[in-house]
Amino acid sequence: DADVTQTPRNRITKTGKRIMLECSQTKGHDRMYWYRQDPGLGLRLIYYSFDVKDINKGEISDGYSVSRQAQAKFSLSLESAIPNQTALYFCATSDLDQAQHFGDGTRLSIL
Amino acid sequence: AQSVTQLGSHVSVSEGALVLLRCNYSSSVPPYLFWYVQYPNQGLQLLLKYTSAATLVKGINGFEAEFKKSETSFHLTKPSAHMSDAAEYFCAVSDQGSNYKLTFGKGTLLTVNP
């Protein structure tokens, strides 16, 4: 089983819809992250959480929100999706200064 | 603030040739440096990392990278490319000042020609 699991893997939806992307991990890490990947732009940090009670905005948090339901679960929500949020979304986990471990991603298309 | 520059968004090599992917970073404190690889329709997989021990770091699949503080570089190399090395490669930096959050470069797509 994968250490970092993202659901769904693919999603197509319409402008204005509310969408939730989920991430769960079995690595026991305190730190969790959400990124979006766009061609030619690399990965950009949306939100991150260093423990269950800690939530922080990343460089591109506008239009997104998150929930850390437990150490193992970190969800990303788009309250009212817009087409320029079409992207590949990744969840990652880490221990303090160690390397981050990534899920397989969610490909999100907003029409 | 930390940043990463990957020179060349696309690198093409022949099978068996040397692979060299360039990465320069900026960081106000000693950095941690990483190379990740992304195969099509997959997440990012760690190739190797530098965390202030040996400056020459060996990773998986025959890749290695050398930390050069004077040049603020962390270039990725492999002596002989395989077809299976075709993927996108990302360099990333973190440090204590950023509380170990990663900053990624924009990526380099490696094509391997037969």
Evaluated on CA atoms A25, A90, A1, A27, the torsion sign reads negative
Model pLDDT, residue B51: 85
Question: Measured on CA atoms in the order B105, A102, B27, A55, is the torsion positive or negative?
Answer: positive
| Residue B101 sits at the chain A interface (C-beta within 8 Å) | yes
The pLDDT score that the predictor gives to residue A66 is: 97
Q: Which residue of B has its CA nearest to A91?
A: B43
| pLDDT for the residue A1 | 58
What's the confidence (pLDDT) of residue A63?
Answer: 95
CB contact under 8 A, B105 and A99: no
A48–B46 C-beta distance less than 8 A: no
B34 touches chain A (CB under 8 A): yes
Is B75 a residue whose pLDDT tops 70? Answer: yes
CA A43 to CA A46: how far, in whole Å? Answer: 9
CB pairs under 8 A between A and B: 48
What does the pLDDT read at residue B31?
86
Å from B65 to nearest chain A CA?
16
Mark out chain A residues that contact chain B at CB-CB < 8 A. 4, 33, 40-45, 48, 50, 58, 90, 92, 94, 96-97, 99-105
User: CB A103 to CB B43 under 8 A?
Assistant: yes
Task: Please say if the pLDDT value at position B50 is more than 70.
Answer: yes
Does B56 score more than 80 pLDDT? yes
Residues 6+ apart with CB under 8 A from A64: A34, A46, A47, A76, A77, A78
Instruction: Write the CA distances from B80 to B7, B16, B19, B67, B112, integer angstroms.
Output: 20, 4, 7, 21, 11
Flag whether pLDDT at B78 surpasses 90: yes
Higher pLDDT among residues B28 and B33, named by residue: B33
CB-CB: which of B49, B51, B106 is closest to A41? Answer: B106
Whether B100 sits inside 8 A of A104 (CB atoms) is no
B30 vs A80, higher pLDDT: A80
Nearest to B101 among A41, A45, A90 (CB): A45
Which residues of chain A carry a pLDDT beneath 50?
Answer: none
Closest chain B residue to A59, measured at CA: B103
